[in-house]
Chains A and B, each alone.
Chain A
Amino acid sequence: MSRIGVFVCHCGENISRTVDVERVAAEVGTMPGVAFATDYKYMCSDPGQGLLKKAIQEQKLSHIVVAACSPRMHEKTFRKAAESAGLNPFLCEIANIREHCSWVHENREEATAKAVEIVGMMVERVKKNRVLPTITVPVTKRSLVIGGGIAGIQAALDIADAGHDVVLVEREPSIGGHMAQLSETFPTLDCSQCIMTPKMVDVVNHPKIKLYTYAEVEHVEGYIGNFQITIRKKARSVDEDKCTGCGLCMEKCPVRKIPNQFDCNLGLRPAIYVPFPQAVPNTPVIDREHCIKFKTGKCGLCQKICGPGAVDYEQEDTLIIEPVGAIVVATGFDLYSITEKPKGSSIKGYGEFGHGKIPDVIDGMTFERLASASGPTGGKILRPSDGQEPKQIVFIQCVGSRAREKGISYCSKICCMYTAKHTMLYKHKVHDGQAYVFFMDARVPGKSYDEFWRRAIEDEEAVYIRGMVSRLYQKGNKIVVMGSDISVGVQVEIEADMVVLATAVQPRTGADSLAQKLGISYDHYHFYSEAHAKLRPVECATAGIYLAGTCQGPKDIPDTVSQASAAAAKVMTLFAKDKLEREPIVAKVKEAGCVACFYCKKVCPYGAVEEKEIRDRQGNLIKVVAYVNPGVCGGCGTCQATCPSKSVELDGYTDEQIVAMIEAL
């Protein structure tokens, strides 16, 4: 006979506001098999857990049902508490009366009745729970880091410094990401290259880091501790082992007029190129789309002059398989493009700002390249149209961000600070120039941030106008900026020489397809989702995968570096043990009933189902059956729903248990 204990939580007022928790405890207490039922304000707190432990021992409870929040929240907490009181943790179940009941209902009477039913179902189910032993699996102590911007670099260095091998995969020919493009960084105005490039060199020199640039993750298999990653190393057309980085090929390449994406298309580059002089690795790549050799078969100059013979036109993409135990995703962001949006897109463009067709209306990153000493103008702020120094410059914040009617509601977080920085850099370079900023609010929380913003106004004399711009248009060689100053309620018109748009931070194009490969979730903008917004901010809901940087949401460099180090710490925690304990909620095959149709194998998203031969003592084959590898099984139950002979069941979710729950209704 079961002696079930039921513990009903108030969750502060989250549950008790709508559900009469005392009545739930009283009604459930009379159900057959229930030996003890009580309620408490915060069941997850120390005294709450103490209540549960004490009751297990004093009341000699055999099973536990905690009626509280979602099992995603505190199932682990209560199972641990049960375990410490001597009960097998899998004899403890959660009845979700918060997300499934109190939060979604208003009528107290009906919500209470529903809560009683939810708990009653779990009482019937827990009666049929079995003692499950924990499964242990080995951990491959190597980590994959996807993305070689500041987030990926920081995570890779931290993990490698802890003594673990790291595989760093970067899509572009060089690591460095967006940070390598920046001129100076807020709030200290230290040069981005000066703090970034040494870290890039550390990566390539680190004995524990294996760097793949110009490469992408093609395929992901496996599970926490045991992933198999297929990496596509794109054909660089230059042998990385032979190339010495002398740069002669780039000097001699006859194709010279390709816009350099690294310089936001302001500068030009040859067809064989490194994106920027401080690139890591300093190995060029051939842009096959523009190379004469690839287009016409002629030329071949770079190969002829290459001393070490590193240029290889025959090179092909290669696929490499790397086993790893953990994955850090640090794929970064794209900047909202001010060009015209495709028809039907949920993101509307800025026709009123000329759709990017006015040459001296640029975005913030282009301004960074103009201000950068390594940029196309050598750090001089010059207009792209005619190379003149702009004497009146207008910065417009929140372009794309916080514009619901344009398709994006969120704040991009970094623009207030980088625009303040831009006004300073401008004033430092154009002493007689005047900067204006149109802004909605100044969102500058952060250490030394508000001081920095005040400095832009008070010391560097930027004129901040609270209001938005309705239209930009070219008039002669000026750009007319029509806006409003809502603090005094007047319309403002400025004839500017140049306009800089602080465009929104958006997830990378293709972020969704990488997420699907990895099996991680993302929000409707395609930012990757953390497991818990507050308490698990760097972990994905998928075990063994961690997030760093702007792929999870807009953030600045300090926040990105912090998150990257946090993700690295999580990886190290995982690698601290030789074996990993896994939840034993896995599928088991009843071999007697299995008819070897292997539908389960076809539907299993984890590739956990294998074919097993059953032989007699003489070694004669009796039958072939399905076998679920408990180390690989993700516990989704798809096989159970598919099996035509009902021969495979998920522990903890057997048909018998589900039927018992239904019958309890």
Chain B
Amino acid sequence: MSTLKYSYYPGCSLHASAGEYDLSTRELFKELDIALVEVPDWFCCGATPAHNVDELLSLSLCAKNLELAEQVEGDLAVACAACFSRLKFTQHTLGENETKRTQVEKALDAKVRLDGNVKHLLDILARDLGLDKLAGVVKTPLKGLKVACYYGCLLTRPPGVPNLDCVEAPTIMEDLLAAVGAETVSWTHRLECCGANFTLSRPGVVLQLTNAILESAKAAGADCIMVACPLCHGNLDIRQQEIEGVYKADYKLPVFYITQLVGMACGLTPERLGLEALIVDPKTLLKEKGLL
């Protein structure tokens, strides 16, 4: 019986476009016997729009969510890279800046606590549970699957804020996949920006950026891409066919969430992992590798 317990902040995306990330997270954690209790009455972290428009609003939204998370025992588990970034930023900024902290406390009419741990799922799987333990529960090693681990721009940056791994040369995703038997490729664009929410306002920019990422992954010999962020997923997966059309390319690179690949290795069925929700169909690839 595992003693690991977390409060869980899914974030808006996981209740909408990234439902399969939420599903696979819950199912994987169930399988690994890690308790996840959703933060009661949580709301949006503000994401990019809030801090672009009003810093105080952004900080207050996250501070309120941190306060709500205190009701549930355990560190706060976050799946989305953007939610993770905003929550960490809030802890960092309020910890450093007395004036802003006072403003936020006035807005919330409550003292802000900054000592709670905010952890990305990667951190929980690779460090709290541990790679050795994870390797021990693998039922179907992802042998022969060549994965391009895509961190995106938010997961490790800026220096001194998320402190998840080395800022410019992280290895946590590669380490995680090595533990479940997959092969990872060395590629150049794992930390580049995908264009994020510009996908709505400036799709041309996003197509250019995501194309470079897909091109680099393909050139490195990857079969698929693994992400830890719903927005990166949207840009690389949903837009992939469009990118192929615009840039006359042929990628066909399925884009998985970390929990989907790790879940697959732990023997979870495609239904429990929400694989059917992926736009670039992974079935052919998985059959080819004997994983389906």
Contacts and interface: CB of A to CB of B under 8 A. Distances in A.
A and B part of one assembly: yes
Interface of A: 340, 348-352, 355, 405, 471, 473-475, 480
Given A405-B159, A405-B160, A350 B188 contact: no
B250 interface: no
A340 B166 CA distance: 11
Contact of A352 (B160, B168, B219): B168
A475 to B, nearest CB: 7
Contacts of B268: none
Given A405-B159, A405-B160, A351 B188 contact: no
Contacts of A349: 169
A351 B160 contact: no
10 contacts: A340-B169, A348-B167, A349-B169, A351-B168, A471-B188, A471-B191, A471-B192, A474-B188, A475-B219, A480-B188
B166 A351 contact: yes
Interface of B: 159-160, 166-169, 188-189, 191-192, 219
A351 B159 contact: no
B263 to A, nearest CB: 29
Contacts of A474: 188
Contacts of A405: 159-160
A475 B169 contact: no
A474 B189 CA distance: 11
Contact of A475 (B160, B167, B188, B191): B188
Nearest to B168: A351
A588 to B, nearest CB: 54
A499 to B, nearest CB: 14
Contacts of B160: 405
A355 B167 CA distance: 13
Nearest to A343: B166
Given A473-B188, A475-B188, A480-B188, A352 B159 contact: no
Contacts of B167: 348, 351
B169 A355 contact: yes
Given A340-B169, A351-B166, A471-B188, 8 more contacts: A348-B159, A351-B169, A352-B191, A355-B169, A405-B159, A405-B160, A473-B188, A473-B189
Q: Which of A348, A351, A405 lies at the interface centre, i.e. has the most chain B CB atoms within 10 A of its CB?
A: A351
A473 B64 CA distance: 41
Contacts of B169: 340, 349, 351-352, 355
A348 to B, nearest CB: 8
B168 A350 contact: yes
A488 B219 CA distance: 32
A475 B169 CA distance: 18
A52 to B, nearest CB: 48
Nearest to B166: A351
A68 to B, nearest CB: 37
Nearest to A357: B186
A349 B160 CA distance: 15
Contacts of A340: 169
A280 to B, nearest CB: 42
A350 B191 CA distance: 14
B25 to A, nearest CB: 28
A348 B160 CA distance: 12
Contacts of B191: 352, 471
